[in-house]
Amino acid sequence: MQVTINGELRDIATQTMQQLLESLGIDPRKVAVERNAVILPKAEYMTTPVVAGDRIEIVHFVGGG
């Protein structure tokens, strides 16, 4: 199925948000995730399925002033 992650169209298998982050090599503790413009609390990564057409934003802290 196709989903948009950080503005990029990607083909992925059916999975949860937790599994998606792991497959991308991302430590869930260090990021915040928005799914279809709604922030997903960390506690819900395990139980939230990623659905075809989802628009996902994954952000973290970088150097800034």
Partner 1 sequence: MSHNDTLVIAGRHFNSRLMVGTGKYASNEETARALEASGAEIITVAVRRVNLDRSKESLLDYIDLKKYTLLPNTAGCYTADDAVRTCLLAREAGMSDFVKLEVLGNEKTLFPDNEELLKAAKILIKEGFTVLPYTSDDPIVCKKLEDLGCAAVMPLGAPIGSGLGIRNPYNIKIILDTVKVPVIVDAGVGTASDAAIAMELGCHGVLMNTAIAGAKNPIAMAEAMNLAVRAGRLAYLAGRIPRKLYATASSPLEGLLE
Binding site for partner 1 (CB under 8 A): 5-8, 24-27, 30-34, 39, 41-42, 57-65
Strands 32-35 and 2-5: unpaired
Cβ 50 to partner 1, closest distance in Å?
14
Q: Which helix (H) or strand (E) holds 20?
A: helix 17-23
Kindly state the tokens that stand for 59.
């952000």
Least distance in Å: CB of 56 to partner 1?
Answer: 10
Contact (Cβ atoms closer than 8 angstroms) between residue 52 and residue 2: yes
Q: Which is nearer to partner 1, 25 or 47 (CB)?
A: 25
Q: Give whichever of 16 and 31 is closer to partner 1, judged by the CB atom.
A: 31
